[in-house]
Amino acid sequence: MPVHLQLSETQRYLIYEISEPFVLDELMQAYEQERQYRDSLPHTVHSIVDMSQLKRIPANWLTAKAGPGLKHPRSGEILFVGVSVGIQMIVDVVFRITGNKRMKFFNTRAEADAYMAQLIGQSEQQD
């Protein structure tokens, strides 16, 4: 399945792994599962969105901003992995327009995982 979603073992963050052939309908279905995860947990839930296996982004990809990760009351930071510099610039503009300042870009999953470990450590200290 090109869009795979899972909740981390700690239940502190979601992991999206998106690969070819990427179809937005599958992402929208995963958003429903994401909403259920977020609704069932009492704390902030961050996200890793690993797009390192994608070769292309669908033409209508901006509809992806409708996901619960941006608007849900328990949404945390969103870490993107493997997104080209051009796409980073476009996504950055879209998120600035929507007022979302909780995203970061990483070249590798290992870098994102290391940052997430720090973020989770901080979150657990605050709870």
81 belongs to a structural domain: yes
Give the mean model confidence (pLDDT) for residues 93-119.
Answer: 88
87 belongs to a structural domain: yes
Give the mean model confidence (pLDDT) for residues 86-102.
Answer: 76
| Count: domains in the chain | 1
101 belongs to a structural domain: yes
Least confident stretch, 10-19, 40-49, 62-71, 85-94: 62-71
pLDDT at 31: 93
54 belongs to a structural domain: yes
127 belongs to a structural domain: no
pLDDT at 63: 64
49 vs 52: CA distance, rounded Å: 9
Give the mean model confidence (pLDDT) for residues 91-112.
Answer: 84
Distances from the Cα of 80 to the Cα of 14, 17, 40, 119, 126, angstroms = 12, 10, 24, 15, 24
Q: Which domain holds residue 100?
A: 3-122
